[in-house]
Chains A and B, each alone.
Chain A
């Protein structure tokens, strides 16, 4: 079975046009790099992560999800100050898990999306800090207060963002 950004499964599976598949992650990366300088509060959000979760859950294909996560995460790493791969590994795991979860559960309603996004934010943070501390030996510390707050903020933004991105869905 060829790896594409669509997949045919039993439950409802969506696909996206190539411009959306390429453009939305790039736009998310660009906004994430640009907006925090103009609006400092925006740094708490992680748009690339939200986009990864959305595409993974909508396609419901673990392979597609992990590659989407890896691509976005690695690109994010290239723009950052730390070694390339820390975010890539974390996003790969999130993409894989989100698509696996999407294949088994209905994550179309707002409540489920909120909880799923909050959970995956924490998963992403755990993998990120684990890799950074124990594989790269970066002196990073985790703040529970900041982490929970950022998770809730991202979950809220995610619910709103997913409804916007739903417009680009195409049924297979």
Chain B
């Protein structure tokens, strides 16, 4: 036995060393809390290397600052730096706000939905990389002493960079989004298609899990979807640079990162994320589709009635939305024709059959109609939304109510008492 080991001594030692390393790997994989059980030796290695990197970066920046700040443009340089920082913050706000505006339309009805916004970004400087071409990661000069914790998002004003993987007292290791083991929830801005962003061996970005029957075009903007619970939703990720058929039934989508991942110098660590609910309109009343249709269908005109000597127009001449929620802003005076759009009715009223006498005022209630969304408009009017216009024109005081009642196509008749509002009359016009 001894002679065998002696003959194959080199090979035996090789196998022994490899076995020990495999054993160490197995322990790390089994416990899966790799950052914990190897933390000490990583701290030693990082502690040995990063001070030199930090020193070099400091010297480089110091030299640069000396040349630029003191010899050339001292005041301008400092001011420029401040303005750039301000611009970065404003750009972040802008991105968030524009995304919020789009979200508002889609999420108004989703009560309880919470979105995450960037609460507190911490500026950090990139001081080095992992030292291997096979792993896309960087070291930053902020660590646990500065409030950095694992799984925090790292971004720039341009776009997302990666997430904090390991934290040391004064430095942190950031796994970039173009690493092969990285995965980021992403969506396409226009089509809202969701996918998973992964790195390639060459350090490029690919958007995976998008079905091949979907339409994706080069130039489409890719945003973070927030599904990974690391990056807040709506941050810029990049733009689609190439689309081709991929494996199985998925597309192969190459993405150009918004942030220049190969030339990072300063980054922002999102140390605090805030959750908030999107603003919901005060009146969350639902409008039935039947009510909306009812306004557009022809109905039997009201009979003119005389109550207590008042003219019919004064008592029931105002036609309101059938749900009765919207109060006429301008009072009585205009009767919208059944089957006609409110706006059309308003215009017709101003061109009323009865000629108004000079000096009399006829107020028409016109509902502002946003294109292509009748339901929203009706809901808006029912909720007393500001999309209500008042049209003013002259009207005759002696117009007969029968004119309006018998001619539905001629919507408007004048009311002798235009300022008199009579909301209950709305129920009279309910076509049901």
Contacts and interface: CB of A to CB of B under 8 A. Distances in A.
Contact of A75 (B17, B34, B45): B45
Contact of B132 (A76, A83, A139): A76
A83 B46 CA distance: 15
Interface residues of A, number: 53
Secondary structure dominating the interface of A: helix
Contacts of A100: 10
Given A44-B133, A136-B25, A84 B41 contact: yes
B24 interface: yes
A115 interface: no
A13 to B, nearest CB: 15
A135 B21 CA distance: 12
Contacts of B375: none
A143 B135 contact: no
B17 A70 contact: yes
A122 to B, nearest CB: 13
Given A33-B53, A131-B25, A141-B201, A80 B181 contact: no
Interface in A81-122: 81-89, 92-93, 96, 100
Given A34-B128, A78-B38, A83-B28, 5 more contacts: A36-B129, A48-B131, A63-B13, A81-B165, A139-B181
22 contacts: A26-B48, A29-B49, A33-B129, A37-B127, A45-B133, A62-B10, A63-B10, A74-B21, A76-B132, A78-B44, A79-B131, A79-B132, A80-B130, A81-B130, A81-B173, A81-B179, A82-B135, A84-B42, A138-B181, A140-B181, A142-B201, A143-B200
Closest A-B pairs by Cβ, 6 of them: A78-B45, A40-B262, A33-B131, A143-B201, A85-B25, A80-B130
Interface of A: 26, 29-30, 32-34, 36-37, 40, 43-46, 48, 62-63, 66-67, 70, 74-76, 78-89, 92-93, 96, 100, 128, 131, 135-143, 145-147, 150
